[in-house]
Each structure stands twice: as C-alpha cells, then as structure tokens.
Structure 1
Amino acid sequence: MEGTTSKSARLGVPRRWMYCPKVGKVIDGLFLPFKTPLCSLYDDRIDEPLRFYVKHVFTHPSLEGRKLGLWIDFTRTDRLLS
C-alpha cells in the first residue's frame, strides 16, 4: 500500500465521505467505529470543521481512559491515507 499521493488526492474526496459521521458510538465497550481519516493533501477540498485526521481518532473523548488496540480498515482503496 503506497498511501495518498498528490495525484490520487486530485481525484477528490471520496463519495459520501464529507457528511458521514466522523465517529460513532462505542459498541459493547469494545468497538469505536469511525470514518477513514484523510491526510492533509485533501485540505484544500474540505472545510476546516469537516476535516478528520488520524490524530482525531486517538484524541476522541470516547477513548478517554482507554487504549486503541486494533485498527481495522474496511476501505477498498489505498488512495486515502498517507
């Protein structure tokens, strides 16, 4: 997986990403669902309040006092993350 390049970022923000909730509710005290964070290459296409980075996952209040133990990526592409 190569990650995001400026070429892939020019393809734009993935469909439906913009208004998908950033983070869901913790499920059974174990799972924290969240949308795929995007890298800063997308910043010029996303208004600041809608931006969502990896750091936002680790600092989300739902994780307070907990450790993130596993990150499962269900995206079908490698163009979103760096």
Structure 2
Amino acid sequence: MSGPTLEKVLIGVPDRWMHCPKVGKLIDGLFLPFKTPLCALYDEQIEKKLRFHPEHVFNHPSMKGKKLGLWIDLTKTGPLLFCQ
C-alpha cells in the first residue's frame, strides 16, 4: 500500500483533523468509527498527544478480543495512512 507523498505531507495536516475525535463509540459491537489515522511523516506537525496512527486503532480498548474485518476510508484527501 502506498502512502502520502512528501509534497502532500509538506502541505500539512488535513483541515479539521486536529479537532476531530480520534475514536467514536462501538456500534452494535461491530462498527468502530474513527478519524483517519495519519502516517508518522506528519508527526513533526502534530503535538504528541494529538497524534493518531493506524496502530492506535488496533490497540484501542474497543478492539480487545476482536478482529478487524474491514477498514473503510471515507476521506477524499488521498493516501494519508501508510508511509513508503
């Protein structure tokens, strides 16, 4: 899987990302809504306590004992998750 280009990273963190909740409430024991985790390339632009990476989703307490079956990215900003 490809990730963001350095050019895209230099543009900055997507609008409204900083103030969006990291993870919502588990729905019917099946669906865990969460904001798009960002690749570590963005770390210098984000305060440590606000960073949110893909591993945070897998390590979230709501995921304990569960297997992730499907990851749907509904953003229109392009690849932000995985670094090359």
Indicate whether 1:42 and 2:15 are aligned. no
Distance 1:62 1:77, change over 3 A: same
Residue equivalent to 2:77: 77
Residue equivalent to 1:13: 13
Displacement after TM superposition at 1:2 (Å): 4.2
TM-score, length basis structure 1:
0.92
CA distance in 2, matches of 1:63, 1:37: 16
Residue equivalent to 1:55: 55
Q: Which amino acid aligns with 2:65?
A: G
Residue equivalent to 2:23: 23
8 Å contact 1:2–1:78 — kept in the other structure? no
**% of aligned pairs identical?**
65
Distance 1:67 1:79, change over 3 A: closer
Hey, which bits of structure 1, 4+ residues long, moved more than 6 A? none
8 Å contact 1:23–1:34 — kept in the other structure? yes
8 Å contact 2:14–2:77 — kept in the other structure? no
TM-score, length basis structure 2:
0.90
| Residue correspondences, number | 82
